[in-house]
Amino acid sequence: MVLDESKIPTHWYNIVADLPEAPPPPLHPGTREPLTPDDLAPLFPMGLIAQEASTERWIEIPQAVRDIYRLWRPSPMIRAWRLEQELGTPARIYYKYEGASPVGSHKTNSAVAQAYFNKEAGRTKLTTETGAGQWGSALAFACDVFDLECEIWQVRSSYEGKPYRHVLMETFGATVHSSPSDLTQAGRSFQERFPDTSGSLGMAISEAIEVAAADPNSSYSLGSVLNHVLLHQTVIGQEALQQLAEFGEEQADVVYGCAGGGSNLGGLTLPFLRENLDGRTSTRLVACEPKAAPSLTEGEYRYDFGDTAGMTPLLKMYTLGPDFVPDPVHAGGLRYHGMAPLLSFVKHLRMMDAISVKQREAFAAGVLFARTEGIVPASESNHAIAGALREARQAAEDGTSPVIVIGVSGSGQLDLPAYSEFLAGDMADS
Amino acid sequence: MVLDESKIPTHWYNIVADLPEAPPPPLHPGTREPLTPDDLAPLFPMGLIAQEASTERWIEIPQAVRDIYRLWRPSPMIRAWRLEQELGTPARIYYKYEGASPVGSHKTNSAVAQAYFNKEAGRTKLTTETGAGQWGSALAFACDVFDLECEIWQVRSSYEGKPYRHVLMETFGATVHSSPSDLTQAGRSFQERFPDTSGSLGMAISEAIEVAAADPNSSYSLGSVLNHVLLHQTVIGQEALQQLAEFGEEQADVVYGCAGGGSNLGGLTLPFLRENLDGRTSTRLVACEPKAAPSLTEGEYRYDFGDTAGMTPLLKMYTLGPDFVPDPVHAGGLRYHGMAPLLSFVKHLRMMDAISVKQREAFAAGVLFARTEGIVPASESNHAIAGALREARQAAEDGTSPVIVIGVSGSGQLDLPAYSEFLAGDMADS
C-alpha cells in the first residue's frame, strides 16, 4: 500500500499540544533553570529552537522539504501475509517500511528538515557525530541537497569496522573523520588520555560540538532525542494511520517500534497517541528496546545529562545514568543511556508500554522476517519485529486476531556482518 | 509514481510473437542441429523449456508468482526533477527503479518465476553460479519462498572480496560455496590446474551444472541470457509504459538500459519495442554496455558458446568470443562475453542501438545521480545513467526536451567499495 504523493503530510504533528500537562522543561546544566532559546542559539538555528519549545499542534512542513520527501515518501505500508502464514497466526500484521529512503532508514525525515532550517538561517555547514552510521549518512544526503558543507565524526570502531557506511557519506559529498581525531582539542585530549580507544559516541559528540560552536556559520545537528527531531519523524505515523484506513482497518490494536534515542519510535507512535487522546482509538503503543540498553524498562525517570561528558542541558528522562556503557550489541542505533524526554514523559503518564529484547531473539525475528517478507531489516528494527512476533504468537494461542503494526525503521543491507555472526551461532545473547 | 498493486502485470510479454521473422534457434553443440526440448530436460523443468521456445505473445503469470511480486511490485517510476535541474536540461527524465526489491535488484523478477516452475515440476533443489552476487541472492530468496534447497557457487574473488553478498544469500537459507570448490569434480580439477585461481563465472557454472545434472531432483538456474529469463523481466517495461502514461507522457523518446547478459535490458525495453512495432510510438532503445565488455558495439553476430568451457548450446549472438576475458571492472553483472540471443537479434534488425561507457564515466554519473536523486545506483545501472546523461546534456545544448527513461536496475548499497575507489581517484578507466 503506497499512498499517492499528494498524501505526503503537509504538517508535522506536535504531541505537546495534546498532552494533559506540559512536559518538564530541559534545564541549564549550570543554573538548573529552564533553558531559554538563547542558551541553544550557539548550536542550533532559531527555526529549530522554536520547534523544540513549540506548543502548537501542527507545524507546517516547508514546500522545499516536502519536495525532497517525495523522493521516498509516502513510504510503503505492507500487509505481512507470508509472515502471518508462517506463524499460523490469525493476527493481521502490517509493517511501515522506512528502509527505502535514500540512505536506508527513517533518519532522512529529520535530516532534510534540519538541513533546510539551517540553510534558511544562513548557515553554511553542519557538523554531527554518528555511531552505526545511519544518521551520518542521512545528514550527508540532506546537506548535499541544500548545498551545505557536512563534517561528520564517526566513532572509530564503527569507522573501521563498517567501512561501507563512511563511503556512503562520502558519496553524498560529506567529510568523515574517525573519532577521536587530531582535528579538535577534545579529540587530541581523548587520544592522549586513552591511546588505544576505539572511540565512543560521547567523544564524537564533543568533537562535532566543538567545531560547530567555534564557527558562527556552522551548526550542530542531532539525529534523535530532542523534540524537534521527533516532530519531523511524525510523517511516519501520520502516513501509517492513512494507510491502515485504506486497508480497511478501523484501528491498530498495537504498534511496535524500536527504541534507541526515540526518533523512530516517536515518529511512528505519537500520531497514534493523538487518536487515542481524542478517544477515537484504543491502540496500545509498545517501545522495544535492547536488553543491553534498557532505559525505559530498567532506568529511572529523572533529570540527567544527554551526553557522557555532562556538557548538555539536563533532560528529564528515563536514564541508566550517563556513565552507563551498554554491551557492544549490534543495534548501534539503540545503544543510548537515556530516552527522548517527550517519550519518557508519555511513558511516565502510562500512555506507552515498553519491553526489552535480547539480541539473539531480535536477529531470529529479523531472519524470519527476511525469509518471509523478503526484506532484511536493520538491526534496530529487529527489536520491534521481535516484540510483534511475541504478540502474534500469543494471538495464535488465544485465537484472537489483533491488528499489529510494526515500524521497520530501516534496511539491514549494511548490517549483514551482524546477520553473519547470528547465522554462524557466534552472537552473544546480550 | 507507484501504481496500485492491482496494476502488476498479469502476463509476461514475449517479443518473439511480434518480430518480423523468427530468431535463429539455439544449436546442439555436438550435432549443430536446432536444440529440442528434450536436450534441455536434464537441466530445466518443462514449464521453463516451453517458455524458452514459445511463440505466444502473452504468457500468464501464475497467481503464486504475482503474490510474491506484490512484495516489491509495481516498482516505482520517478521523475528525476533534481537531476534535471542540476544538468540544466529541458529534457524530462524518468527512472524506473528496481533496487527496492528484496535483494536490491531486478533479478528477483525471474528468480521467483524460475523457483515456482521448478517447484511445480517437483524439483526440490536449485543450483546456480553467481559473480557479483545479485543473481545468487535473488535465487536464494526465491528458493526460500518456495521451500526449495538452494546451492550456489560464488566466484572466489567475489566470495572473498564481497562478503556481505554471501551473508545475504545465507540469510535467505542458501548454501554458498567459494568456487572453485572441493565439492565437484570440475572444481577439484580447476584447483589442480590453477592452484592460485580467484575463480571465474565459467568455473562456477561448471560446478553448478555438474551438481544439478547428477541429481534428478535438482535443476540448474540461469539469471540472464536465455529467452525465458528476459520474458520474466518484461514486467519492468510493462509497468514503465503504464507509469509514463499516468505521468501524462505520450511516449518515451529514448530508453536507456544497462547491458550485461541482457535480462534487465530486455525486460525494460522489449515492451517498448512492441509499442514501436505496433506503430504507436517511435521510441529509441539504447543498450549501455561497459567499454570493457563491448559485445554489442564491438562483437560479431555469430553462433557461439554461452560459457567459456564450450559446454552449452550454441547461441546466435553478438559475442567477443568465449575466450574473451574482460578487464576486472566493478560492474560484475555486465562482464559477459556475449549478449542474450533475443536482444542480439533485435539489435541485428536495427531495432535497438548500443553504446559503450568506460567505468569512470559510469561512476561519475552514479555519484551525480546519488547526490541529486538520493539513490546510490548499482555499478551496472551507472552505465545506463551515463548514457542518459549524455542525451540530457545534448538536449540542453540543442534546446530540445526529449522524454528520457532510465532503467535503474539495482541499488548500489553493496557496491560501496567501488564508489570508494572512484571517489579516491583510484579507479582504472577501463
> CATH number of the domain that A117 lies in?
3.40.50.1100
On whether the CB atoms of residues A300 and A367 are closer than 8 A, the answer is: no
pLDDT of residue B21: 95
Which residues of chain B neighbour A172 with C-beta distances below 8 Å? 370-371
The phi and psi torsions of A124 (rounded to 5 degrees) equal: -115, -5
**Is pLDDT of B68 > 80?**
yes
* Residue B34 per-residue DSSP state: B
Q: Which of A240-249, A303-312, B9-18 has the lowest mean pLDDT?
A: A303-312
**Cα–Cα distance measured from residue A306 to residue A296, given in angstroms and rounded to the nearest whole number:** 15
Of A171, A416, A419, the CB nearest to B376: A171
Quote the mean pLDDT of chain B.
93
Query: What are the residues facing B407 on neighbouring strands?
Result: B96
Q: How confident is the model at residue A309 (pLDDT cuts 50, 70, 90)?
A: low
Residues A185 and A201 in one domain: yes
Using the structure block, give the residue that is written with the C-alpha cell 518480430: B19
**B144 vs A: CB within 8 A:** yes
Q: Is the pLDDT of residue A418 over 80?
A: yes
Say if residue B241 is in the same domain as residue B183: no
pLDDT attached to residue A105: 95
Q: Are B365 and B378 in contact (CB under 8 A)?
A: no
Residue A123 sits at φ, ψ, to 5 deg, of -70, 150
Separation of alpha carbons A299 and B41, rounded Å: 64
Please check the confidence at residue B65 and state whether its pLDDT lies above 70.
yes
Q: Tell me the average pLDDT across A193-217.
A: 88
Q: What is the ipTM of this complex?
A: 0.83
Rounded to an integer, what distance in angstroms lies between the CA atom of residue A244 and that of residue B212? 45
Strand-pair partners of A56: none
Q: Residues B300, B199: one domain?
A: no
Q: Residues 6 or more apart from B189 whose CB is under 8 A from it? A: none
Whether B50 maps to a domain, the answer reads no
Shared domain for B364 and B300, answered yes or no, is yes
Residue that is last in its domain, among B188, B222, B256: B222
Q: pLDDT band at residue A26, thresholds of 50, 70 and 90?
A: very high
Per the domain annotation, does A11 fall within a domain?
A: no
Distance from CA of A258 to the nearest CA of B (A): 21
A145 inside 8 A of chain B by CB: yes
Is position A17 within any domain? no
Does residue B93 have a pLDDT over 90? Answer: yes
Among the listed residues B251, B282, B288, B287, the one whose alpha carbon sits nearest the alpha carbon of residue B269: B287
Residue A31's alpha-carbon distances to A40, A53, A226, A301, A312, in angstroms, are 14, 19, 20, 21, 13
DSSP class of B249 = -
Same domain, residue pair A377 and A312: yes
CA atoms A120, A121, A126, A131: torsion sign: negative
The residues with which A60 forms a beta bridge, in sequence order, are A11
Nearest alpha-carbon partner for B333 in B151, B143, B130, B139:
B130
Grid cell 555499478 in the structure block, residue: B379
Question: According to the model, what pLDDT value does residue B414 have?
Answer: 87
Cell representation of residue B34: 536446432
Is the CB of residue A170 less than 8 Å away from at least one CB of chain B?
A: yes
The answer as to whether A57 is a domain residue is no
Whether A171 is covered by a domain: the verdict is yes
Q: What is the mean pLDDT of residues B202-224?
A: 91
Q: What is the rounded CA–CA span in Å between residue A43 and residue A21?
A: 28
Residues A238 and A319 in one domain: yes
User: Is the minimum CB–CB distance between A71 and chain B shorter than 8 Å?
Assistant: yes
A243 and chain B: CB distance < 8 Å anywhere? no
Averaged pLDDT for residues A213-231: 95
Report residue A332's pLDDT band, with 50, 70 and 90 as the boundaries. confident
Q: What is the pLDDT of residue A2?
A: 65
Helix%, strand%, coil% for chain A, nearest 5: 45, 20, 40
Determine the pLDDT at residue B205.
86
Instruction: Give the pLDDT of residue A264.
Output: 97
Residue B396 lies in a domain: yes
* Residue A158 contacts residue A200 (beta carbons within 8 Å): no
Query: Could you tell me which residues are beta bridge partners of residue B305?
Result: B314
Please tell me which residue of chain A has the smallest CA distance to B372. Answer: A145
Are residues A371 and B173, on separate chains, in Cβ contact within 8 Å? Answer: yes
**Closest C-alpha to B287, from B178, B386, B196, B210:** B386
Q: State the pLDDT at residue A409.
A: 97
Band the pLDDT of B321: cuts 50, 70, 90: confident
B42 pLDDT higher than 90 = no
- pLDDT at res. A369: 97
**Domain range for B134:** 108-222
Amino acid at A320: L
Q: Give the helix/strand (H/E) hosting A82.
A: helix A81-87
Distance separating alpha carbons of residues B139 and B118, to the nearest angstrom: 12
pLDDT band at B23 (very low <50, low <70, confident <90, very high): very high
Average pLDDT, integer, range A13-26: 97
Determine the pLDDT at residue A200: 82
DSSP secondary structure string for all residues of A139-165: HHHHHHHTT-EEEEEEEHHHHHH-HHH
Q: Give me the pLDDT at residue B381, please.
A: 97
Q: Give chain A positions within 8 Å (CB) of B80.
A: none
Of A201-205, B138-142, B362-366, B369-373, give the lowest mean pLDDT range: A201-205
Q: A211: helix, coil or strand?
A: helix
- Please give the pLDDT value at position A196: 86
pTM of the model: 0.89
Contact present, B176 and B170 (Cβ < 8 Å): yes
Q: What is the dihedral of CA A214, A217, A220, A226, to 10 degrees?
A: 120
DSSP B336: -
Q: Per-residue pLDDT averaged across B334-357, rounded?
A: 94
Single out the residue of B284, B285, B349, B274 nearest to residue B318, CA to CA: B349
In chain B, % helix, strand, coil (3-state, to 5) comes to: 45, 20, 40
Q: Tens digit of pLDDT for each residue in A31-74?
A: 999 999 999 888 899 999 999 999 999 999 999 999 999 888 99
Q: B-chain residues within 8 Å CB-CB of A379?
A: none
Q: Any chain B CB within 8 A of the CB of A419?
A: yes
Grid look-up 540543442 returns: B398
Residue A13 included in any domain: no
Chain position carrying cell 528434450: B38
Does B277 share its domain with B383?
yes
Contact A411 B416 (CB under 8 A): no
CA distance A46 to chain B (A): 27
Q: Is A111 on the interface with B (CB under 8 A)?
A: no
Which of B177, B201, B222 is the last residue before a domain boundary? B222
Tell me, yes or no, whether A170 and A245 share the same domain: no
pLDDT confidence tier of residue A291, bands split at 50, 70 and 90: very high
Instruction: In whole angstroms, give the CA distance from residue A84 to residue A392.
Output: 8
Question: Rounded mean pLDDT of B228-239?
Answer: 98
Instruction: From chain B, pick out residues whose CB is under 8 angstroms from the CB of A82.
Output: 145
- What is the rounded CA–CA span in Å between residue A78 and residue A244? 10
Per-residue pLDDT at B309: 67
Q: Say what percent of chain A tops pLDDT 90.
A: 79
Q: Is residue B419 within 8 Å of B412, Cβ to Cβ?
A: yes
Asked if A246 and A114 sit in the same domain, the reply is: no
Q: Please answer whether residues A127 and A155 qualify as being in contact, where contact means their C-beta atoms are separated by less than 8 angstroms.
A: no
- Do B202 and B166 have their domain in common? yes
Which residues of B fall within a CB distance of 8 Å from A170?
Answer: 419-420, 423
**Of the residues A162, A188, A222, the one at which a domain ends:** A222
Mutate to test the interface with B, among A66, A82, A147, A376 (most CBs of B within 10 A): A376
Whether residue B29 lies inside any domain: the answer is no
Give me the pLDDT at residue B329, please.
72
**C-alpha torsion angle, residues A234, A238, A240, A242 (rounded to 10):** -170
**How many other C-beta atoms lie within 10 A of the C-beta of residue A310?**
13
A-B C-beta contacts closer than 8 Å: 109
* Cα–Cα distance for residue pair B152/B139, rounded to 1 Å: 9
Which helix (H) or strand (E) covers residue A319, if one does? strand A314-319
Instruction: Identify the CA nearest to B353 among candidates B252, B284, B282.
Output: B284
Based on the domain organization, do B261 and B155 belong to the same domain? no
Q: What is the mean pLDDT of residues B125-142?
A: 94
When divided into structural domains, chain B yields a total of: 2
Structural contact between residues B296 and B307, judged by C-beta atoms closer than 8 angstroms: no
Whether the Cβ atoms of residue A359 and residue A335 lie closer than 8 Å to each other: no
Q: Does the pLDDT of residue A331 top 80, yes or no?
A: no
Q: pLDDT tens across B361-418, in order?
A: 999 999 999 999 989 999 999 999 999 999 999 999 999 999 999 999 999 988 998 9
* Mutation to test the B interface, candidates A171, A243, A423, most B Cβ within 10 Å: A171
Q: Interior CA angle at A360 toward A359 and A362, to 5°? A: 60
C-alpha torsion angle, residues B54, B59, B65, B69 (rounded to 10): 110
CA nearest to B205, candidates B186, B189, B229, B218 = B186
Q: Does residue B80 sit in the same domain as residue B120?
A: no
